Amino acid sequence: NPYILATLLFGLGLGTTITFASSHWLLAWMGLEINTLAIIPLMAQHHHPRAVEATTKYFLTQATAAAMLLFASTTNAWLTGQWDIQQMSHPFPLTLITLALALKIGLAPMHTWLPEVLQGLDLITGLVLSTWQKLAPFALLLQIQNVNPTILVTLGLASTLVGGWGGLNQTQLRKVLAYSSIAHLGWMILILQYSPSLTLLALLTYFVMTFSTFLVFKLNKSTSINALAISWTKAPILTSLTPLVLLSLGGLPPLTGFMPKWLILQELAKQDLAPLATLAALSALLSLYFYLRISYAMTLTMSPNNLTGVTPWRFSSPQLTLPLAITTTATISLL
């Protein structure tokens, strides 16, 4: 029903906007709750057991994170007597809030729900979950000052490593994208303390690249690496573009995805954190490996060229092709 869909999307936007605009912890929490409640019907709309399971998992983790956030902000008000987001001073509520937000966006070691949830969803809902749903918690993370840098660095490094290793043994594309998301978020959190503007740049480029990837898979109607391997008969043009998009996600130099990683490594080196930069760069190699594997499956393996594999790809929907064209161009050539 278009009315229900419009209402839910409005709720999604409203929740994020409330969190953006708030300087009071209660209001921020309320925005996060509206956000969660708006996306849950969108996730369960297909009434498939897998989708319902994913929705339940998502609801439980988000409710836990929101409860932690509320508890931490109440504790902060009790200890210091104020509710302002920017004025956090006590280390205990600060740590707790950081962990709650990490659980909300799926940073390692609180990441285990993300691949499971994403695997149960439609690709478009999965796209909303991977991009829009990260905005509100990120706004809060950017606003809280004087967090212990060790916590953020540990979360960031763990996420880049887990995102690299976790994606290696996956054949399902949505799980691969979930691990890729964890790794990218790790890079953003790594630099959050030292250069918030770089975090925002990384978030923006991640959004563009993820948009492109999800739309390509949606257009190909492929959810596993096997389905991608036979996709060149369906859509030859897409098959030549997709590896470039994937390698951009991995962060190879002439493509857009290299820019945030390059700048983040440079900033870490400036902060005398060379070992940290080295570890992060090495973990990027892990991610690169599984993107390369998918690219290999798409471009270098011949599929049986039977007529059932050939679909009328020229007549695809304009709602998909325009954003796909824009984001794919941006993903490949923004650097």
Residue 310 has pLDDT above 70, yes or no: no
pLDDT band at 319 (very low <50, low <70, confident <90, very high): confident
Token pair of 280 as six digits: 């992060």
CA-wise closest residue to 151 among 209, 78, 87, 102 = 102
Per-residue model confidence (pLDDT) at position 306: 55
- Report the distance separating Cα 215 and Cα 249, nearest Å: 14
Distance CA 271, CA 267 (A): 6
More confident call, 324 vs 100: 100
Q: What pLDDT is attached to residue 315?
A: 52
Whole-structure pTM value: 0.94
CA–CA separation, 147 vs 156, rounded Å?
14
pLDDT at 316: 60
Q: Which of 11-20, 69-78, 221-230 has the lowest mean pLDDT?
A: 221-230
Question: Pseudo-torsion of CA 114, 281, 168, 109, nearest 10°?
Answer: -30
Amino acid at residue number 293: R
The pLDDT > 90 percentage for the chain reads: 80
Select from 163, 175, 301, 121 the least CA-distant residue to 226.
301
- pLDDT (0 to 100) of residue 314: 55
Q: Using pLDDT thresholds of 50, 70 and 90, give the confidence band for residue 162.
A: very high
| Locus of tokens 């200890």 | 79
Kindly state the average pLDDT of the residues 89-106. 96
Percent of the chain with pLDDT over 70: 95
Residue at token pair 């490594």:
265
Q: How do the domains of the chain map onto residue ranges?
A: 148-332
Mapped onto helix, strand or coil, the DSSP state of residue 1 is coil
Structure tokens at 204: 């923006």
Least confident of 11-20, 53-62, 228-237, 271-280: 228-237
Res 174: pLDDT: 96
**What digits encode the pLDDT tens for the residues 45-70?**
989 999 999 999 999 999 999 999 99
Query: Would you call 322 helix, strand, or coil by DSSP?
Result: helix
Q: Residue 101 pLDDT more than 60?
A: yes
Q: What is the pLDDT of residue 6?
A: 97
Handedness of CA 137, 72, 42, 105 (dihedral sign): positive
Q: Residue 189: name the closest of 259, 136, 142, 256 by CA.
A: 142
Segment 130-157, tens digit of pLDDT: 999 999 999 999 999 889 999 999 999 9
CB atoms within 10 A of CB 243: 19
Provide the H-helix boundaries in the chain.
2-21, 25-43, 49-80, 91-105, 113-119, 123-130, 132-143, 149-166, 173-192, 196-220, 225-229, 236-250, 258-270, 274-299, 318-333
**Does residue 303 surpass a pLDDT of 70?**
no
Beta carbons within 10 angstroms of residue 252's beta carbon: 18
Residue 159 near residue 122, CB atoms below 8 Å: no
Mean pLDDT of 228-247: 82
Q: What is the distance between the alpha carbons of residues 20 and 135, in angstroms, rounded to a whole number? A: 9
Residue 297 pLDDT greater than 90, yes or no: no
pLDDT at 23 over 70: yes
Whole-angstrom distance, CA of residue 210 vs CA of residue 166: 18
Rounded CA-CA distance 96/110 in Å is: 13
Q: Contacts by 56-64 with C-beta closer than 8 Å and gap 24+?
A: 57/113, 57/116, 57/117, 57/120, 58/113, 58/117, 58/129, 61/103, 61/104, 61/113, 61/117, 62/32, 62/36, 62/104, 63/36, 64/103
Cα–Cα distance between 230 and 298 in angstroms, integer? 7
